Structure 1
Amino acid sequence: MSFKTEFRWSDVTPKAMFLNRRQLIAGAGALMAAPAMARNKWSVDEPPNSLEDISGYNNFYEFGWGKEDPAAYAGALTTDPWSVEIGGLVDKPGKYDLADVLKGQSIEERIYRFRCVEAWSMVVPWHGFELAGLLARVGVQPSAKYVAFETLLRPEEMPGQKDGSFPWPYVEGLRLDEAMHPLTILATGLYDQPMPKQNGAPLRLVVPWKYGFKSIKSIVKITLTNKQPPTTWNILQSNEYGFYANVNPQVDHPRWSQATERPIGGGLFAGRKDTLLFNGYGDDVASLYAGQDLAVDY
């Protein structure tokens, strides 16, 4: 099924939430940096899921383990003011407020496939900017090889963090060439509005050829390093979750097959579809892994 329209998906999707005035102003300023918000060349032609699907069915364990918990409890999260600490092997380390992070960045609409390691999938119309642009601004030093990320730690607003069974805060990482790839973005919103809190407001990573848990939410810290950084799921279960986490239908999770996926929003009897290597982005990213055994570097 294809759609040929002259308007964006946001024009036909109801807005499901209201955001504070200052956040709207900041979001609007960022959106104006990209005239007409044209669909980016990296976007897929598949129709996106509804805002209700995207904001109502997701994992954000800081708010609970159920798929509906983030939408139920993330409203308590304070996202204004917000700052991101950028450090390590960079020329301009410091704590940058959100407006400064967004300064000079071109906000684009990127309609990406999203594949969860749990074998469900969506298509999401993100708005954001290439991570490479921010890294260029702070100056990546020659010895840097990896980029580490950290999520907010605030248990008084994120009730899931009161569970001592998880090594909070949530941490993730990319190899530097993965981070600098033009498909890798820092997302600031979706459907022409600032990022819903349950989806990782105000700033989250999106790496569309990797399983969703690599796309860390509510980022407060970015560190350039010469060593492979620890990542939360690899810390918890290294036999099930590797550092790379590339979507690979040929490498099963130890407890389920990754050969197929269940699209969300397709209805009770919509069935499953085959999972694509690198989530369908192989033409763009396969060269990053030339010479690697992806069954070993999973």
Structure 2
Amino acid sequence: MLIRRGGGIPSSEITPHSLYLRRREFLTGAAAFAFAGPLGSGPAAAAGMQAAKSPFSTTEKPTPLSDVKSYNNFYEFGPGKADPAANADALTTAPWRVSVEGLAARPGEFDLEDFMKPYALEERIYRMRCVEGWSMVVPWVGFPLAEVLKKAEPLGAAKFVAFESLSRPEEMPGQRGLFQLLDWPYVEGLRLDEAMHPLTILAVGLYGEALPNQNGAPLRLVVPWKYGFKSIKSIVRIRLVEKQPPTSWNKQAAGEYGFYSNVNPNVDHPRWSQATERRIGEGGLFAKRRPTLMFNGYAEEVASLYSGMNLQKLF
């Protein structure tokens, strides 16, 4: 049972307790070894993207681009918020291949350019809520995941969609060394109806430019009514499966991070309240907190997906 806690988000903002302890080990042990130097050709140059405006966009003011690019969780590049921006330039994003496999009549493996080619790009300005209690508003560029799945023709036994991120320790310093924060590769999953929902997109850009490496280049999932860690970055594999797939944070701490991880102000994390949030770009740690919206403000669109479910138990 999750217990409501009073007070604000701790200033560590907020690495889960188990990772906090492991991070201390990591920092203690860092002097004993050195990371290998970065390999690869570096990030692809940002390019302008033509994208149609979407009626699904919020009218809220977007978070400044500088904050979106500099304040991230991407543990493959380190545990700190600034680590992805500092380290992700080592990631080679071209060439990039994506496989669609599993319970599908038309599986395949594609170069990213061919994978994207059939789909018209849209700008989707979405709220993004982190499980740690902070939020952003991001103008993503992408296309509906449903279009990809329809093209793959899911078989009748397919009930879930599993995602897998890149594992490349030579370019991702958080994946190498003696103290690992998570099991790699990072994996995530959605129920098939969640994946097919019109709000669920695959993003290839933000703010009209190619997706920066630290934000999940070159291809990431965006599910705006769920906590941000569900929106897996740097995707290389999409699988249609029959049974609920494992997910990285649920494997790490099942009592803290459920499979669904819908934004819910009434279901607290065991160690902090989810009732309010701090919007990045609005005054730092001491900014006035705002109420957390059910399903991150997308309840009208998605609440029916969970009709009859106990959202306290299936968090």
TM-score, normalised relative to structure 2? 0.84
Partner of 2:268: 252
Q: Could you tell me how far apart the structure 2 residues matched to 1:218 and 1:123 are?
A: 20
Q: Could you tell me how far apart the structure 1 residues matched to 2:180 and 2:307 are?
A: 40
Q: Could you tell me how far apart the structure 2 residues matched to 1:43 and 1:49 are?
A: 14
Partner of 2:229: 213
Q: Which amino acid aligns with 2:89?
A: G
Single out whichever of 189-198 and 91-100 deviates more from structure 2: 91-100
Partner of 1:80: 94
How much identity, in percent, do the aligned residues show? 62
Q: Which amino acid aligns with 1:93?
A: P
Partner of 2:298: 281
- Compared with structure 1, are the counterparts of its residues 270 and 165 closer, same or farther at alpha carbon in structure 2 (3 Å cutoff)? closer
Partner of 1:103: 117
Q: Which amino acid aligns with 1:88?
A: G
Cα shift readout 1:132-154 (whole Å, capped 9, x = no counterpart): 01111111111100000000000
- Compared with structure 1, are the counterparts of its residues 156 and 142 closer, same or farther at alpha carbon in structure 2 (3 Å cutoff)? same
Cα shift readout 1:158-193 (whole Å, capped 9, x = no counterpart): 000114342111000000000000000000000111
State which of 309, 312, 315 in structure 2 corresponds to 1:292: 309
Q: Give the number of the structure with larger relative contact order, counting CA–CA contacts within 8 Å between residues 6 or more apart.
A: 2
State which of 153, 157, 176 in structure 2 corresponds to 1:143: 157
Partner of 1:155: 169
Q: Could you tell me how far apart the structure 2 residues matched to 1:164 and 1:158 are?
A: 12
Partner of 2:30: none
Contact 2:175–2:184 (8 Å) recurs in 1: yes
Other structure's SS at 1:71 match: helix
After TM superposition, the structure 1 = structure 2 runs for residues 2-151 of structure 1, keeping only pairs within 5 Å, are: 20=44, 24=47, 31-32=49-50, 37-151=51-165
Partner of 2:220: 204
Q: Could you tell me how far apart the structure 2 residues matched to 1:165 and 1:194 are?
A: 28
Q: Which runs of 4+ in 1 moved over 6 A?
A: none
Q: Could you tell me how far apart the structure 1 residues matched to 2:129 and 2:53 are?
A: 21
Q: Which amino acid aligns with 2:98?
A: V
TM-score, normalised relative to structure 1? 0.88
Other structure's SS at 1:261 match: strand
Query: Unaligned regions of 5+ residues in structure 1, if any?
Result: 1-17
Cα deviation, residue 86, structure 1: 1.1
Q: Could you tell me how far apart the structure 2 residues matched to 1:40 and 1:267 are?
A: 29
Cα deviation, residue 270, structure 1: 2.5
Single out whichever of 86-95 and 275-284 deviates more from structure 2: 86-95
Q: Could you tell me how far apart the structure 2 residues matched to 1:248 and 1:62 are?
A: 27
Query: Unaligned regions of 5+ residues in structure 2, if any?
Result: 1-41
Say yes or no: does 1:184 pair with 2:200.
yes
Q: Could you tell me how far apart the structure 1 residues matched to 2:185 and 2:43 are?
A: 25
Cα shift readout 1:252-288 (whole Å, capped 9, x = no counterpart): 0000000000110001442100000000000000000
